Each structure stands twice: as structure tokens, then as C-alpha cells.
Structure 1
Amino acid sequence: MSGFELLLKIAGGVALLLWATRMVRTGVMRAYGSHLRRFLGSATRNTVTAFGMGIGMAGILQSSTATALLTVAFAGKGLIAIAPALAVMLGADVGSTLVVQVLSLDISWLSPVLILLGFVLFTTRPSMTLRHMGRVLIGLGLMLLSLKLVVAASEPMRDSVTLQNILIPLSEEPVIAVILAALITWVTHSSVAMVLLIMSLTLAGVVPPALGLTLVLGANVGAGIVPMALTMAEVPAARRIPVGNFLFRLLGVLMILPFMKLIGPYVAEISGPDLGRQIANFHTAFNLALALVFLPFIGLMTHFMARVLPDKPGSADDLRPKYLDVTVIKSPTVAVACATREVLRLADVVENMLRRVIEVFSGNDPVLLEEVSKSDDLVDDLHEAIKLYLTQVSKNELDEETSSRCVELIAFTTNLEHIGDIIDKNLLEIANQKIKKRLEFSEQGWKELVELHRRTLDQMQLAMTAFVSGDVDIARQLIAGKEQFRTMEQAAGEKHLQRLRDGRIESIESSALHIDMIRDLKRINSHLTSVAYPILDASGELRESRLRVRPKSEGTTVAEANG
């Protein structure tokens, strides 16, 4: 067999292993992703439970990287504190080793069974969940098959003089071996696959046992690099987690690397002659040791990471949730107060978008358009974080007043998110068309649009005041403001139609944009006015129906028709 053919077979086996690992992770996330996210959010109250959750998550997902990305997403929204998040990661490091432990057993005979069963579930589609579980079973079967292929393809390399000339010096240079394994793990994005590959090459006699253990250390370093590289664009609070975990791994490797020649014989004595078992056991033991050594120092690492990666005041990073304190979720009254403060921050972001959108129209400024558009991403993130936080609060036993307030907060937050979408996807798109086509509104038409926009801003202020105070008079002003806006809108529409009849060129060219802008401002007003209805309803200031009840002489009343 030629060297090229040999390397091709090994590369194919490794590619199959990586693909199978991805299949398992994708299947689990599609079947139970929402449950896993909920469990992750609820089980990070303290270090111990967070550590246990990390073990379970990585064991299920077969990837510490996938667990890291979920944890980073929660931390970026302020739903997980940094200390328990680091505990989750230490647990995930241990959990991913359990996958290697299972796959290191001689269960290759199970591969065709898993693939067949998975194929039946995936193709017959008894339910979407079972279909995704079929994907998981196929992935597990392919993982076992790929390991068998790698071992079989590697056996001819055992007697290769060239390979021995490369590996023998590498055995004497542990630092280079660690760096090489770390780089390969980073490229493959899977420490599980890398450790399984090391195990396969060791079983085939290609890699000496002592070198195999050193390469495992490199795989652990590389596993810390992967989530750190994938989250470089996240806010500092989120980046602290993978960076802190990488430092834990790196410190652990630096502490143990000088003693590898002493440790190797003990691993062989405890694990027995099975070389694959030696690799798997050392991998698990190393990560357990990391957890035992560094769990007590999580608080210290948290303070250190806050200094190394501080928040950036006044930037987009500072607009992540500030007040959603997860430690008070079990105290609903306090938690609702925290959520209220966060909702007001969200309202400020939306109000700023609404205030600046008119500047985009007046200045035809594409740069400002992009800035305002980016604010909608912040609105979406805050909306999701507040909704998740209040969902967790609602799991407590709430009195009627607190429960009602939670509903109002979610409703107002949802309306604010809708307003952000209208600004981003509608008003800014209108502005973009105006800029691209170099259109201008007529002087009178622009004045009408500016006045409608000013009225909408006034409504925004009233809505925020009504939301905070619950004042009936302010709620009535909000409803009255909606009626005034409707009157202004109808008048503006009639004037615009008259300008079209008069053949005003600017009005004809910008007619579609003019009408769409009025429509979107009206929609924003409707969302803002919705704040007033619960207040007025609670005070008995609303009619049951806006329909006029007909006198008997005009026909049958609604009550008679229903009777």
C-alpha cells in the first residue's frame, strides 16, 4: 500500500469521526435543545450544581465546546454569573471525557446495530423527536465505525521507519508535542475526536504510549482554544468564560508536564495493558484533577478575568442586561423590580432608535442608518433576556399582583421589540430607498411627517410614564394621543392626495415612501397605546365593546341575538 493511499484512508476515517460527532451533537440539540438551555439556566445557582450540569451537558452533547457556546450565550445576556459559568466549563471538561471512556470500550460490534436502528427511526419519522434521535444513533454508529477504520488503516504504519524517525524525537520534545496536538485539536474543533484518534494510533502501535499521554495534554489545551476563538466577537462578560477555562487547562498542563515520565508508569499500572484504556483513563484523570484543584479558585479567576477583560462603559458591550440578577429569582418581588429596571433600559434603546430615525431621513446618512439598525440587535437580545428571566421568575408561587405585573412586563417588552423591528425593517428600509433613489419629499409633506414623528415620540414618553406609574390619567392621555394621531394621519393623507392631484413631482416620486412611513408610525403608536389598556381596564375605565348597541327599532341587539 502506497503512503498516499495509507494517509488517505486515515484522513477519511478521521473525517468520518468528525462528521459523526457533529451528527450526534446536532441531533441532540434539535431534539432536546430547548430543554438543555432551560436546565442550564436553572442549574447555575451555585458552583456544585453548575459543575454537575457541565458534566451532564457535555456528556449528552459529546462536546465541551458546544456546552461552552451555550454557556457563553447565557453569560452574554447576563443570565449566568461568571463564577458558576466557569464551574460549568470545568464540569464540561470532565463530561467530554466520559464520551471517550464509553467509546474506548470494545463495542465496535454495536456499530451496525446503531446505524440500522437510527436509519429506521430517521426514515419512518414516527415523530420529529424520534427522527432526531435516529440521527443521534446513526452518528454514534458511525463514530464506532470510524474508530475501527482508523485503527485498521494505521496498522501498516507501525513498521514505518520514516514515521519512527519523526515520532522518536517528538517523544523527547514534550512541549512541541503538546503544541502540535493543540493545533490539530483547534483545526478539528473536537477534543473528543482528537483523543479518540490518539487512542487509535496508540492501539495500532504507531504512537508510543508515553507520547500518546503527552498528546492528550495537547488535546486538552486545544479544546480550550476552540471556544475562545469562536467567541472573540462576544462582549467581555461572555469572553471571560472560555478564556478563564483555557487558563485553567493551560496551568494544569504546565503543572503536570514536567512529571509525565513519572506519571506514565502509574497510568499503565492502574489501567492495565490495554493502551486505549490508558489513554482514556489519563484523559479523565487529568480533567478530574483540574476540577478538584481549580474549583476552589473560581472566585479568584473571576476577579482576575474582570480585570483582564473589563466591560467597556458607554459602548454596545455596556448594553447587555445589567439588572437581571439571577440570585434573586427566588424572591419574585425583588426579581420583578429588577426586570422593570431592565425593561426601562430597553425602552430607552428603542426611544433612541425612534429619535434618530428621523435624522436618517433628513440627512440621507447611510452611516447613521447602519448605527440605528445595529441597535435593533441589542433590542432583540434584551427582549429575549428579559423574557427568559421573567419565565424563570414565574416558576415560583406568585401572588395575583406579582403575576399580573410579570404579564404586563412581558407584554410591554414584546411591544418594544415589535417597535424596534418596525424601525429596523420598515422605516430604515424606506430611508434606504430614499437614499439609493435620491428621492425627496415635498416641503409640506416633510413637515407633516416630522410632526407625526414628533407626536409618536410624545406618545413614547407617555407610554413609559404610564408603564412605570400605572396612572389612570396618563393612560387616558395616551389613548387621547392615539386619537389625535389618527386625526393628524387622516389630514396628512388627504393633503398628500391633493398634492398628487396637483401634479407635484416630489410628491409623485416619493408617494409610496410617504404613505409607508405614515403607516409604520401609526403601527408604532398602536403598540405604544397598548400600555394604557390594562391600566384603564383595571380601573373600570374601558367599555366592554366599542360597538354601538342598536335600539330595538333598528334591529335585534347583540344580547338578543345571543339569547
Structure 2
Amino acid sequence: MEVNWFQVGITLLGSLAIFIYGMNLMSDGLQKTAGEKMRKVLSLLTKNPLIGVIVGALTAVVLQSSSATTVMVIGFVSAGLMNLPQAISIVLGANIGTTVTAQLIAFKVGNYLWIFILIGFILHVFMKKENWTNAGQTIFAFGLLFLSINIMGNVMKTIAELPEVIQFFMSVKEIPVIGVITGALITALVQSSTASIAVLQNLASQVGPDGVSSVVGLQAALPIIFGTNIGTTITAVVASVGAPANAKRTAAAHIIFNVTGTFIFMFFISFYCRMVQYISPAGLEYEVISRQIANAHMFFNIINTLIFLPFIWLLVKIVMKIIPSKDTDKLPSQPHFLDYNIIEQPVFAIHLATKELLRIADFALQMIKDVKKAFLANDSEAIKEVFKTEDIVNNLQEETVKYLASIFATDTLTEHQGNIVSGLIHIASDIEHIGDNCINIAEFADEKIKNGYEFSDIACAEIYECFDQALRMTRTTIKALEEGDLNRAKDLLVQEEEMNRTEERLKRQHIKRLYDKSCSPEFTVMYTDIVHNIERIGDSCKKIAEAVLSDIQFKENNITNKEFKDAI
């Protein structure tokens, strides 16, 4: 019977495409369902590397990829939110977490794939609540994974009969390094060790010429499994290009971990083969080899992690030696936290955007301090600093809004997170408005210095009072945003009302001084405009507080204030 190899090739590639799509879809669904909890998981990080390994494993299970987890970690290291030892411990754990899918395949969960597809479809299409639709997407994608595996299995029966395939795996048994190279290249190509292992499990489950053995055999499968762990590091390497030294070191640690583990295990292939067979179910090889491959993949990463865990400090020293710190400090006008590599993980991208907004708010706070000094102390240098900082604030605000807008384009964004992103975009504008008000006051300060204007002591004291209120409100705003502190946010509303009353009181007092002729009329416009601009700084702080407290944006989606706090 003549085989249509074009049809075989297309079916194999198509089923692999469905597998990768299903895996990404399941990852999206898991992130939408559990994404808000992932920030809490990361908050467990301590100096204890074992906790880091557990966090890495859990994160990889949700993201369905050790590569995606490593890329996320590189982003956090680049932003200075995670140190190198913490990052390495998470990477070690991610390698374990990514083996879960292979175990599910081995347990033949695919026998029930149509149940998963049907239930997932019903939940995703017909349920109203977002949590149910996200769960439906995850379940549907789970079924899709096994549908692709079943299709792949039928194709593998044809491929397994090829003499060239049988000869190739015989060569791998004799020269294991061929298997390592093959596994690494295929994984680097498809950008997924899980997909590579799934293909290997399907092929290995085909019966060999003797009707009993697997066409692959466990001894030939092991080097390929080791190679997939090397190939999966390519994603992290690409993500670290152009990143700070510590990010490159994290990627290097990932490579060293997997390459060294492979090198060690290659000396014990026969022993490891017997060990895997011992811990796996008994039976005909082609019937149990999928379980053996899943176990070999999992225990390779577990044992490798246990070997490296006590020596993370040494691994840190090695990567620091290999990649010396040649980083030049980022310019103040450059974003320090925004990382487009993790834009597909909105819960983390939102966290980074919030950190950048806090940094912009710190610049705005400095502008208030400088413009206060410029006006009250007639300091021309302080005026220059205000204008210089304004350029920084404008650039950072533009970049952050662009980054936040990019998050909207991700398929993994929940409606909850969409509301948060929308609120952060408004907050970015409000922070920028604080800078604009400072510029207005700086222009008055420049005019005052050039014309030699002298305000009365009482007027200067009143303006000083206003500035102090604005500084206090801005500091409270930064804390409220940073900590999601609802009490501080509510206090800001009270402070803003007080600021309004102060403006009205000072205007009345100024008019009284005009009547008493204790103040010059030519300064009236400048005085009232300065006080009004300071009051507008308070308005911006109030709007940011309202974004933190906002019931309109988050209540409709059943998000409590506590959940919003956790999200940012």
C-alpha cells in the first residue's frame, strides 16, 4: 500500500500546531482563572531557595511553559524586582513544573477528551460569569491537547514503520549524543519542550518490528529527553538580549543547569533507564513507554534540581564570572520597569507598569519640591531642574501609556484586569498633569526673578502652606498607589477638600490685603494663579485616589477593593 507522505507530513504538522495552540489556549485560560493568585505566589519568595523552586514549579504549571516562566523571571530581574539567587531558584522549579503535561498525556487522560471538549465548550459559550467562561476555555483547551495527540498517534503508526526511523533510533542507542542534539534542535525550533516530549511519547508508543518493543525504546528516548531540556533554554537567551547583566546571568544559569544535568546523566544512561523502568508500571514496552518517558522527564528535572539546590550560591558566582557587570545605568528618561517580553502575562505586566508609574510619581514629587524652592527662594537653578524633570515625566508617561495600551492587545487579559489597566492609564495622565502645574508655577517663578517682584511675608507664608499641603498629598498618593491602601486613598479625598477650602480662604485674605493696601495689586494675578495651580495638584491626587477606590470600574466585575489591592 502506497503512503501519501505529503498527507502524513501535513497531518503531523497540523496536529502539532493544534497541540501548541491548545497548550497556549490552556495557558491563557489558566492565567485568566488563576492569574490574580500568581502575584500572591510570587510574594512567597524569601531567601529560602526551596520556596523559590516551589514558586517556579507552580508558575510553570499555570503558564504551561518553563520558557515563559524564565522569560517572566528575566523581566523581573531586569526591573530589579528580584535578585539573582531568587531568579535561579524559580528557574529550577520551572523545569519541574513543565513536566506535568507529559504526565497527563502518559495517564491517557485523552480517552475522555470529548467530555473535556463538550464541558469546556458549554461553560465557555453559555455561561455568563467570567470565571466560568475562563474555566471553560481551560477545559476546552485541555481536550484540544488530547485531540491533537490522538491525531498525532495515528500518523506515528505510519512513520514508525519506516526503516530509516528504526535505524535512527538504533544509532541513538549507540551514539546517545545524536539524540541530545536532535531533542535540542527540535525543541529550539518549536519553542516548546512539552510539544517535543508529546511527539516523542506518541512515536515511542508505536510497536516495533518484533510486535512487543517500542519503535524508539527507553534507552534511545532518554538522550532526546535530555536534549529537549537544552533546547528550551533558547527562549530565555533571546529574551535576555539587550537586558541588564543579571538578566543575562539568569539565562546563563538556565543553560548551565540543563547542560550540566544532561552531561551528568549521559554517564548513567543505563542505570537511569533501569531506575525509570523500576518506578514505572510493568507491561509491554510500547504500552508503558509513554509513562516511562514522562517519569524520565520529571525525575531528570527533580534530581537535577536537588543536585543544584544546595549550590545556587556557586551557580551565582559562576554566572557572575562568565558575565561580568558592564551595565551602564539607564538614563532617568528611560523606563526602568517596562518589559514587553512578559506582556502576555498581564498580571505581571500590570505590576511592572504600576512600578513605573510610582517612579514617575516620585519625579513629580521632586518637581513640587524644586518649584517650591524656585518660587520662595528665587532659585534659578531650581527652575532649570523643574523643566528638565518635566521632559523626563512626559517621556516616561508616554512610554508607560504605550505599554499599558499594549496589554490591552493580549488574549490573556481578563475584564477585571482591563479595568485596572484603564485606571492606570488615567493615573498616568494625572501624574503628568502634576508636572504641568509645576511648569506653570516655574514660569511664574522665572517672571518673578527677572522682574524683581517681592511678595509680602504673609503672601509667601500662605504659598508655603499650600506647597506643604501639595507635598503631603502627593506623598500620600504615592503610598496609596504603591500599597493599594484604601485608608490613605480615602484620606486624600478629605485632604483635597481641605485644599479647596485653603484656596478659597487665601483668596479672601488676599482681597482683604488689597483693601488694606498691604499688598500690591500687580501681584494679584500671579498670586491667585500660583495658589490655583497648587490646588490643581491636589485635584490630580484626588483623581488618583478615586482610581484606587473606584467602585464604578471594579464593582461591576465583582472585584473587591482587596482584590484590586492584590492586583497592583
Structure 1 length as normaliser, TM-score? 0.62
Q: 1:171 & 1:67 partners in 2: Cα distance?
A: 33
Counterpart selection for 1:290 from 304, 308, 312: 304
- State the match for 2:250 in structure 1: 241
Counterpart selection for 1:154 from 143, 153, 156: 156
Cα shift readout 1:476-524 (whole Å, capped 9, x = no counterpart) = 9x979x9899934999xxxxxxxxxxxxxxxxxxxxxxxxxxxxx9998
- State the match for 2:443 in structure 1: 451
Q: 1:380 & 1:524 partners in 2: Cα distance?
A: 28
- State the match for 2:197 in structure 1: 195
- State the match for 2:325 in structure 1: 310
- Bigger shift: residues 294-303 or 231-240: 231-240
1:298, distance to aligned residue in structure 2 (A) = 1.2
Whether the 8 Å contact between 1:419 and 1:524 is mirrored in structure 2 is no
What letter matches 1:56 in structure 2?
L
Cα shift readout 1:186-217 (whole Å, capped 9, x = no counterpart) = 22222112111111111125534322111111
* Superposed counterparts of 1:373-522, under 5 Å: 373=395, 377=399, 417-418=428-429, 421=432, 451=443, 466-467=471-472, 487-488=525-526
> Is 1:123 aligned with 2:137?
no
What letter matches 2:298 in structure 1?
T
Cα distance change, pair 469–153 in 1 and its aligned pair in 2 (3 A):
closer
Q: Secondary structure at the match of 2:325?
A: coil
- State the match for 1:101 in structure 2: 103
Q: 2:225 & 2:253 partners in 1: Cα distance?
A: 20
Whether the 8 Å contact between 2:470 and 2:538 is mirrored in structure 1 is no
1:230, distance to aligned residue in structure 2 (A) = 2.7
Cα shift readout 1:257-307 (whole Å, capped 9, x = no counterpart) = 233244334433442431111111110111011111111111222334345
Q: 2:531 & 2:167 partners in 1: Cα distance?
A: 77
1:417, distance to aligned residue in structure 2 (A) = 4.7
What letter matches 1:21 in structure 2?
M
> Is 1:141 aligned with 2:143?
yes
Q: 1:523 & 1:248 partners in 2: Cα distance?
A: 60
- State the match for 2:313 in structure 1: 299
1:380, distance to aligned residue in structure 2 (A) = 10
- Bigger shift: residues 305-314 or 173-182: 305-314
Q: Secondary structure at the match of 2:9?
A: helix
Alignment RMSD (CA, Å): 4.7
Cα shift readout 1:459-482 (whole Å, capped 9, x = no counterpart) = 999679945999x9xx99x979x9
Cα shift readout 1:438-457 (whole Å, capped 9, x = no counterpart) = xxxxxxxxx9998359589x
1:235, distance to aligned residue in structure 2 (A) = 3.3
Cα shift readout 1:75-126 (whole Å, capped 9, x = no counterpart) = 3333332212221221121111122112211222210000000000001123
Cα distance change, pair 453–373 in 1 and its aligned pair in 2 (3 A):
farther
Whether the 8 Å contact between 1:23 and 1:135 is mirrored in structure 2 is yes
- State the match for 1:218 in structure 2: 227
> Is 1:66 aligned with 2:68?
yes
Counterpart selection for 1:180 from 182, 205, 209: 182
Give aligned-pair identity as a percent.
21
Cα distance change, pair 463–170 in 1 and its aligned pair in 2 (3 A):
farther
1:154, distance to aligned residue in structure 2 (A) = 0.7
Q: Secondary structure at the match of 2:128?
A: coil
- State the match for 2:412 in structure 1: none
Whether the 8 Å contact between 1:357 and 1:423 is mirrored in structure 2 is no
- Bigger shift: residues 522-531 or 121-130: 522-531
Q: Secondary structure at the match of 1:42?
A: coil
> Is 1:356 aligned with 2:348?
no
- State the match for 1:518 in structure 2: none
1:251, distance to aligned residue in structure 2 (A) = 1.3
> Is 1:260 aligned with 2:252?
no
Q: Secondary structure at the match of 2:216?
A: coil
Counterpart selection for 2:30 from 3, 8, 28: 28
Cα shift readout 1:537-559 (whole Å, capped 9, x = no counterpart) = xxxxxxxxxxxxxxxxxxxxxxx
Whether the 8 Å contact between 1:53 and 1:88 is mirrored in structure 2 is yes
Cα distance change, pair 83–152 in 1 and its aligned pair in 2 (3 A):
same
Whether the 8 Å contact between 1:50 and 1:84 is mirrored in structure 2 is yes
Cα shift readout 1:310-364 (whole Å, capped 9, x = no counterpart) = 262432499848xxxxxxxxxxxxxxxxxx99975785599899623888xxxxx
